[in-house]
Amino acid sequence: MTQPTLPDTHLTADEDRDDEVSKSQRKRDSTALQKLGATLVSLKLSQIEQLNLPEALLDAVIEAKRLTKNEAVRRQMQYIGRVMRSVDAAPIQAQIDAWNGLNDQETAKQHQLERWRDRLIEDDAALAEFIAQYPACDVQPLRTLIRNTRKERVLNKPLAHYRALFRMLREIMQSAPPTGG
């Protein structure tokens, strides 16, 4: 009786080392997934729905939010970590980072908004420049907010108009991309 021949699936020593991941690295990866899972559980239900999670992960997260006993929560969090091993966590983490303002692009936008707000308050010529870049904006409410913000500063009043100006600028800049320089 002859033995069937098996395909040669042995790896060379170099190939074997490339595929190995250290136990420490696997532990770090597992811990990171569990932390991301804990973050998911802490989100509002509306935010969780926006993430378009796979059904198994979505069910596990919703179940964890429902649980109150410490041991049950701990086991559910471990289960979420296990489920997350089969999910691409990068887009989930990117969305959470964007919500938390940790995204570099979002941070740059925030800084640009702050610079525009400060320039508009300090310099009358900045308004003409802003209007040139965002011609679709409604100029009159913008002028009123700038004027009220200046008064607010002079009178040392709470910064309600200052914040309202920031919100208006954000709406303008999100609704229409800048035209030219």
27-68: per-residue pLDDT in tens?
A: 888 888 888 989 999 988 888 888 888 999 999 999 999 998
Average of per-residue pLDDT across 106-128: 90
Query: Helix or strand or coil: residue 136?
Result: coil
On the CB side of 139, CA atoms within 13 Å amount to 10
Give domain status of residue 8, yes or no: no
Q: Number of folded domains in the chain?
A: 2
Of 70, 99, 128, the one marking the end of a domain is 99
**CB contact burial 76-112 (16+ within 10 A = b; e otherwise):** bbebbbebbeebebeebbebbeeeeeebeeeeeeeee
Least confident span in 73-87, 93-107, 114-128, 131-145: 93-107
Of 99, 115, 132, the one marking the end of a domain is 99
* Tens of pLDDT, residues 70-100: 999 999 998 998 898 888 888 898 888 878 7
Q: How many Å is the Cα radius of gyration of the chain?
A: 27
The CATH code of the domain that includes 111 is: 1.10.60.30
Q: Are residues 42 and 79 in the same domain?
A: yes
